[in-house]
């Protein structure tokens, strides 16, 4: 599983003119399931995201996880994180999990975050989405379960 995190002051996802998910301060998590990812992998990645200390404490240092900062997560499925650019100029996506498997792992990831007490807003799986965000910092972190 791959997750690209961006610390945001706000973010939202729109599908066909309607907002499907919106948060204030927190994390935008672009989530990509890879072939063979299991529910346990999604739960492990969610736990890592929840513990990542990238929010400012009273001294202004990146020292708080999303759970202690009281922030939310906007999770958006993003199969293009599996892009293969080794040959040619057109990315290949065969390294992404098939849609049924990917949707299940995305849902597992979101459920695991909620089980940890985090407020989670979402995009809409397999939809054309417009994602708007204000990157805070900027802070962008790449995570890979392998």
The residues assigned a catalytic role are 78-80
Q: 3-state class of 70 per DSSP? A: coil
**Cβ atoms within 10 Å of 142's Cβ, excluding its own:** 10
In this structure, are residues 105 and 3 in contact, taking their beta carbons and an 8 Å threshold? no
Note the helical H segments in 78-136.
99-115
Q: 3-state class of 82 per DSSP? A: helix
Note the helical H segments in the chain.
39-51, 66-69, 99-115
């Amino acid at each position: 599983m791959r997750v690209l995190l961006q610390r945001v002051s706000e973010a939202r996802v729109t599908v066909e003119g309607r907002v499907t998910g919106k948060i204030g301060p927190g994390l935008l998590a672009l989530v990509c399931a890879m072939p063979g990812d299991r529910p346990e992998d999604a739960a492990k990645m969610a736990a890592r995201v929840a513990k990542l200390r990238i929010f400012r404490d009273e001294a202004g240092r990146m020292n708080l996880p999303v759970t202690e900062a009281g922030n939310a997560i906007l999770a958006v499925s993003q199969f293009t994180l599996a892009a293969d650019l080794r040959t040619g100029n057109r990315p290949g996506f065969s390294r992404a999990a098939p849609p049924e498997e990917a949707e299940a792992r995305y849902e597992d990831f979101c459920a695991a975050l909620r089980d940890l007490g985090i407020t989670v807003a979402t995009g809409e799986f397999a939809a054309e989405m417009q994602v708007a965000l204000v990157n805070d910092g900027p802070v962008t972190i790449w995570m890979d379960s392998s």
